[in-house]
Amino acid sequence: MVSREYLINLLKDNNVFLEGDFTLSSGQKSNYYINMKKAITEPEILSTISKLITSKIDLDDIDKVAGPALGAVPIATAVSLESKIPLLMIRKEKKGYGTSKLIEGELNEGDNVIVVEDVSTTGGSLLKAIKAINDNGGNVIRAFVVVDRQEGAIEKFEKEGIKLEPLINVNEFFD
């Protein structure tokens, strides 16, 4: 059976949690790094994440599952495959060629969307993706993150009226 504890053990067994001197995407310095890019390239980890997220959502109320590029796209894809809910991919910025879309996939006016992310520190990149969905007619109703670093993202989301739901918190790596 898939569980949070199983996911934590998989992440530990795959050396996803690293200690050292790191600069995070937020620009902050940290003495540890959660290498989720490594984790999401492992099928068992990705499958476990998708099953945990799918078990938490009411499939009848969700029209799309979305993830911002790059780290969340494999997670969103896995959740889409597990739940049979269509996928949206959110670019960091519009591309300057082709269709010049910020959102790839079919987002319809009023679609209920869940968003997923690999790791949250401040939550800035995920909030940017949520804004893109909302600005394009979607309705983000829930947000999931695999690992929350417990550095303010949940509180930032609460101020925006969105619940950020971590599968695990970083302190669980220290237990």
Binding site, annotated residues for 5-phospho-alpha-D-ribose 1-diphosphate: 91-92, 95, 117-125
Binding residues for orotate, as ranges, are: 121, 149
Q: Which two tokens stand for residue 76?
A: 């969103």
Omega before residue 164 within 30° of 0, cis:
no
Known binding-site residues equal 91-92, 95, 117-125, 149
State the DSSP code for 50.
H
How many distinct helices (H) and strands (E) make up the chain? 7, 8
Peptide bond into 88 cis (omega under 30): no
| C-alpha to C-alpha distance for 24 and 34, rounded to whole angstroms | 10
DSSP 118: E
Instruction: Indicate if the alpha-carbon torsion angle 161, 167, 173, 174 is positive or negative.
Output: positive
Upper half-sphere CA count for residue 127 (Cβ side, 13 Å): 18
